[in-house]
Structure 1
């Protein structure tokens, strides 16, 4: 079976609505050919780096889907593998955004406690891919203009050389995700090669 890796956002989970919709859709329409790999990402960049290194060693991956912070990480994975990625309302510069969230946090799905500090944000930079580097990658970016968490214009600028799908309205959760999912998956299928 070919694999698509789904990377969730900050303080989210493989149990999130989009992750579950992705799994259910592929089970319904691609039961014998596509498996969605949706890991519970760790709370610290150092641990996420270890997780991603392990995932990127797996065989049969054909692409990545990432939402919010997961979109930022999916760009990194695409750069490391040259595989295609679909980014949904991606965090363009999460280390800047999370500067507003310094202090202790508790993950709502895992109940684990962790601290966001300047070291945390500095460690997030290891996953950054520049606009120039992104230009060579097969990345489809999906943005909604009424994203209440992220300024979509930052992602629009960062990914200006990639395929952009900008929808008026919506939200950070990406309101009509299930409706767009077939097109997103088709992008991965059209640009696939098996790693």
Structure 2
């Protein structure tokens, strides 16, 4: 698991937001600012993900196709963590998962229909029934990570069960937070650890 990325610094970093979220999320903006200030040589990409998981993964696959997979990494929050696990498996690159979704096909089956964006309630999108099957198709349970993986999990997460997250991503280097919340409101204090783990250039 270590062989491909033992000493290669990360030069390209992908950040994936969660369900109903956007590149305007607090964590995405914190990460973007931190990279720009502390690691200006790193190429950072945080795209707005379309509601369809299949469309989202196709977009990401095309976007990172020209990237050097040996020196890229991915960070994902919540549903973005589930996606990041899939991207990391395809690219065989390191990943950091922030309160990662474990079984979004199960959980989001209750959210089919019109949804509003968390950061702009005026923005709507439709979560279609077929998206549940698209999520299921991305499930990698039973497969170990293809490269180094870190998971930051808050016991106080009000959306996801920390025990389920810790069990699902047991192969990761887990930082288990007492308390905390789903949004990881204290994410800023974890930025140096994330940067060290990913060996940002």
Structure 1-normalised TM-score? 0.89
Which of 179, 182, 185 aligns to 1:172? It is 182
SS at match of 2:183: coil
Q: Does 1:56 align with 2:56?
A: no
Q: Does 1:44 align with 2:55?
A: no
Shift of 1:71: 0.4
**Once superposed, what is the RMSD of the aligned Cα atoms?**
1.9
Shift of 1:56: 3.0
Consecutive unaligned residues in structure 2, runs of 5 or more? 1-9
Relative to structure 1, the CA distance from residue 135 to residue 52 in structure 2 (aligned partners, 3 Å threshold; closer, same or farther) is closer
Counterparts of 1:113-124 in structure 2, within 5 Å, are 113-117=125-129, 119-124=130-135
Q: Does 1:27 align with 2:39?
A: no
Q: Distance in 2 between matches of 1:72 and 1:135?
A: 12
Q: Does 1:128 align with 2:139?
A: yes
Shift of 1:55: 2.4
Shift of 1:125: 1.6
Cα contact 1:87–1:141 (8 A) shared by 2: yes
Counterparts of 1:68-79 in structure 2, within 5 Å, are 68-79=78-89
Name the count of aligned residue pairs.
188
Q: Does 1:5 align with 2:14?
A: yes
Q: Distance in 1 between matches of 2:65 and 2:124?
A: 27
Per-residue Cα deviation, 1:111-155 (whole angstroms, up to 9, x for no partner): 2421332x211111222112x312543110100001011111111
SS at match of 1:87: strand
Cα contact 1:2–1:34 (8 A) shared by 2: yes
Cα contact 1:98–1:116 (8 A) shared by 2: no
Cα contact 2:153–2:175 (8 A) shared by 1: yes
Consecutive unaligned residues in structure 1, runs of 5 or more? none
Q: Does 1:100 align with 2:110?
A: yes
